[in-house]
Structure 1
Amino acid sequence: MPIISTKGNKMPASPIRKLVPYAEAAKKRGVHVIHLNIGQPDIKTPKIAMDAVRNHNLEVLAYSMTEGSEQYRKKIASYYAKNDIGVTAEDIIVTTGGSEALSFVMGSIMDDEDEIIIPEPFYANYNGFATALGVKVVPIVSSIDENFALPPISEFEKLITKNTKAILICNPGNPTGYLYSKEEIGQLATLVKKYDLFLVADEVYREFAYDNREHFSILQIKDLEENAVMVDSVSKRYSMCGARIGCLVSKNKSVVQTALKFAQARLSPPTFAQIASEAALETPKSYFDEVIEEYVGRRNLLVEELKKIEGVKVAVPQGAFYCIAELPINNSDDFAQWLLEHFEIDGETVMVAPAAGFYATEGLGLNQIRIAYVLEKEQLKWAVTILSKALDQYLGR
């Protein structure tokens, strides 16, 4: 029998999606599964984006430019200018989601066995991208007791070797919801310049900053042009996950030119999705004001309800729409599967994402889960009630 590659065997399963077969089996038994496991917003996509696709006048659905249409890239640059980020269309490559942008970045700046330092817990697919490209992830632990703040720079410095090429952050964080401050970003900037490293920032949740905090981008640091690479996406900002449109942004010409070669190998980003994404840039600020108000309300309710459960510890998110909760259990994978296979209240159960898959350090996160608060408040409150009663039964088995 032909043999699967070593790389293929090493590819990690998604902690967000690996329990899907159990969820589907529950649904077939007639159980309603409330999804707390995946960051699929329930907020409506801006009508202006949908209408742009409905009302198009294309007669041929042709390839776009490899780097994305010039018109769209110019509009993205204008959007960034409003956020105090000075880039041009030439600094931007449109990608098939932020995921592809991250893969292009790793492929462009790293060779086999090169190392990238990432504060953990982190977006689980970073492990997948790194494995696919032969890159070594070097984790640095952030603590729930510190609300997942940036670890001390001295701890980063201890991890830097001759193979270190970059530091990667997600800001605001998935799965933690932590929003890095301007001071923390500045500390990282000083470090990467000292050691001539890249600083890569996944900023797909940039619009979701709460409690009067402001998002600060690595591209707002004026003397970091050669070191800074940003990844972005329309998926969460405009509730357009299915559009699969993201971008890579950098003032480093060598990075952009190299990433373009990777982009050429996949031909071009999808045309219709770029049309929708370009139109979405015209979304009024009031849309975000309403969305942020809604997410803050959901966050507050979720944290309040979780804190009522004995033995549960929860970090308070400052952005995005995720939080990490620590439960009085030993194995959240087992608990999450048990929820889907053996527990229900009035024909309903919940699906959560076990947090161990968001860590690279073996043994960490085993008693934690990630919750995506992308449900309306009433359903979110009911989901936590189910979770609370499930814990009682699970612990009393």
Structure 2
Amino acid sequence: MLNVSKRALATQPSPIRKLKPLADAAKKAGKTIYHLNIGQPDIPTPKEFYEGVKQAPAVLAYSPSQGMDETLDAWIGYYKTLGVSLKREEVITSTGGSEGLVMTLLALTDPGDAILVPEPYYTNYNMYARMAGIEIIPIETRAEEGFRLPNKRAIESKITPKTRAIMYCNPGNPTGVVYNAQEIEMLKQIALEKNLYLIADEVYREFAYDGLKPISVLQLSGLDQHAICVDSISKRFSACGARIGAVISHNPEVMQSVLKFAQARLSPPTLEQYGLINMLRSPSYTAFIKEMIAEFERRRNILHEEFSKTPGVLCHKPQGAFYVIAKLPVENAEEFVKWLLTEFDVHGETVMLAPAAEFYGTPGKGRDEVRIAYVLNTTALKKAMTILREGLAAYQKRTAKETVRAQ
């Protein structure tokens, strides 16, 4: 009998998508579902992006593996606005941020190595690590503390001879945290003192609220040999299907190594590069970003206000991205999410959330938590949160009755 790989067998389904069959069945039964489980923005992709795509030539050829020169120059121009000076050889265009992270891990680690990652973290990091044959060692953060980083000693206690890097997402998916200057400086010092790479997933950079300005790893002085930034246009342009990202570092050996893996996949998407070039160079880019962030900040505020009306929920006000981890008054959040899809509705409508347990690397953590993506318009979001609040109340009554019957 033919067998698939042990790697494949050991890999868990995406917690963001694994309950999709239940959602599909609910829709087939006539229910309307408000999707709060996946980070797919509903903001229209800007026309400037499509205008750029229309400039593509009649023959859609491979682009250079590093990306077209015009693409690299567009990235360089964008980072110049952040005070970061780059050369073409310090940028590689990737097929989305996901490929950028995979190529970075393949370039920096060997099978059996380990990286430190603050938990909860984007669940696909587990897949990327498994593809590279490495282990993720979680750095514990807690909902009760707003998912702030622990102190330097706690992080350093996780480091072993196998540790090659610290990887973090800022602003954070799934927590919505924006690391402050002290936290970023602490990570910098650990990287320098312990001779580790510092990999920053910065795809949500613009999504910061209350006037916060996330610090890019590329803005840190004295870290040129250690810092790697992974970026993407997916959320920034509301163009998740475009699959264009970048790996950026001042370390020439790192970039030469990443380029080898980029060459193995031949070319990043050519068509979408034209869209990126036109959008980043557009005079309307800044206004588009400003308007989009204002809209997501309104949604963030609604989410927080609605949760404040919900008894028993612990949910710190997110500072960035468009996610939040909420601790619910249930024993098993995944069972609650399944119940919402299969047994509960309000006038034929229900909500879908992402169980948070698999966003953790530590077994047993996050069982009573969910990740919510506030990617619906304000009217739909208010309605979804009302349904969620009613669902929680009904589920608690149901659970209480089952407990009484079991006694």
| 1:37 to 2:37 alignment | yes
| 1:366 to 2:367 alignment | yes
What is the aligned partner in structure 1 of residue 47 from structure 2? 47
AA matched with 1:37: N
Secondary structure in 2 aligned to 1:236? Answer: coil
- Map 1:60-209 onto structure 2 (within 5 A): 60-209=59-208
What is the aligned partner in structure 2 of residue 290 from structure 1? 291
In structure 2, how many angstroms separate the alpha carbons of the residues matched to 1:156 and 1:214?
Answer: 24
In structure 2, how many angstroms separate the alpha carbons of the residues matched to 1:153 and 1:350?
Answer: 39
AA matched with 2:318: P
In structure 1, how many angstroms separate the alpha carbons of the residues matched to 2:148 and 2:154?
Answer: 13
Q: Is the 8 A contact 2:79 2:86 kept in 1?
A: yes
What is the aligned partner in structure 1 of residue 220 from structure 2? 221
Secondary structure in 1 aligned to 2:329? Answer: coil
What is the aligned partner in structure 1 of residue 341 from structure 2? 340
What is the Cα deviation at residue 284 of structure 1? Answer: 2.6
Q: Is the 8 A contact 1:177 1:317 kept in 2?
A: yes
In structure 2, how many angstroms separate the alpha carbons of the residues matched to 1:342 and 1:366?
Answer: 20
In structure 2, how many angstroms separate the alpha carbons of the residues matched to 1:52 and 1:192?
Answer: 40
What is the Cα deviation at residue 57 of structure 1? Answer: 5.0
My pick for the range that moved more, 180-189 or 249-258, is 180-189
What is the aligned partner in structure 2 of residue 354 from structure 1? 355
In structure 2, how many angstroms separate the alpha carbons of the residues matched to 1:339 and 1:182?
Answer: 40
Q: Is the 8 A contact 2:56 2:274 kept in 1?
A: no
What is the Cα deviation at residue 187 of structure 1? Answer: 1.0
AA matched with 1:327: L
Q: Structure 1: which 4+ aligned runs deviate by more than 6 Å? A: none
AA matched with 1:257: Q
What is the aligned partner in structure 2 of residue 318 from structure 1? 319
Q: Is the 8 A contact 2:165 2:198 kept in 1?
A: yes
Q: Please report the TM-score for the alignment, with normalisation by the length of structure 1.
A: 0.98
Superposed CA deviations along residues 102-145 of structure 1, whole A, max 9, x for unmatched, are: 00011000011101000000111001100111110000111111
Q: Is the 8 A contact 1:76 1:89 kept in 2?
A: no
In structure 1, how many angstroms separate the alpha carbons of the residues matched to 2:160 and 2:6?
Answer: 26
Secondary structure in 1 aligned to 2:17? Answer: coil
What is the aligned partner in structure 2 of residue 278 from structure 1? 277
What is the aligned partner in structure 2 of residue 327 from structure 1? 328
What is the aligned partner in structure 1 of residue 4 from structure 2? 4
What is the aligned partner in structure 2 of residue 21 from structure 1? 21
Secondary structure in 2 aligned to 1:314? Answer: coil
Superposed CA deviations along residues 145-167 of structure 1, whole A, max 9, x for unmatched, are: 11111121111100110000000
Q: Please report the TM-score for the alignment, with normalisation by the length of structure 2.
A: 0.96
Structure 2: tracts of 5 or more residues without a match: 399-407
In structure 2, how many angstroms separate the alpha carbons of the residues matched to 1:280 and 1:367?
Answer: 41
Percentage identity across aligned positions? 47
In structure 1, how many angstroms separate the alpha carbons of the residues matched to 2:56 and 2:270?
Answer: 13
| 1:299 to 2:300 alignment | yes
What is the aligned partner in structure 2 of residue 392 from structure 1? 393
AA matched with 1:325: A
CA RMSD of aligned residues (A): 0.9
AA matched with 2:199: V
Secondary structure in 2 aligned to 1:178? Answer: coil
- Map 1:250-261 onto structure 2 (within 5 A): 250-261=249-260
Q: Is the 8 A contact 1:328 1:367 kept in 2?
A: yes
In structure 1, how many angstroms separate the alpha carbons of the residues matched to 2:56 and 2:79?
Answer: 28
Superposed CA deviations along residues 312-366 of structure 1, whole A, max 9, x for unmatched, are: 1102111111111110011111111111111111111101000111101110001
In structure 2, how many angstroms separate the alpha carbons of the residues matched to 1:165 and 1:313?
Answer: 34
The alignment covers a number of residue pairs equal to 396
What is the Cα deviation at residue 274 of structure 1? Answer: 0.8
In structure 1, how many angstroms separate the alpha carbons of the residues matched to 2:278 and 2:18?
Answer: 34
Secondary structure in 2 aligned to 1:313? Answer: coil
In structure 2, how many angstroms separate the alpha carbons of the residues matched to 1:349 and 1:14?
Answer: 21
Secondary structure in 2 aligned to 1:248? Answer: strand
In structure 2, how many angstroms separate the alpha carbons of the residues matched to 1:168 and 1:157?
Answer: 14
Superposed CA deviations along residues 51-88 of structure 1, whole A, max 9, x for unmatched, are: 222x3251211000001111110110110010111212
AA matched with 2:323: Y
In structure 1, how many angstroms separate the alpha carbons of the residues matched to 2:114 and 2:200?
Answer: 16
AA matched with 1:184: E
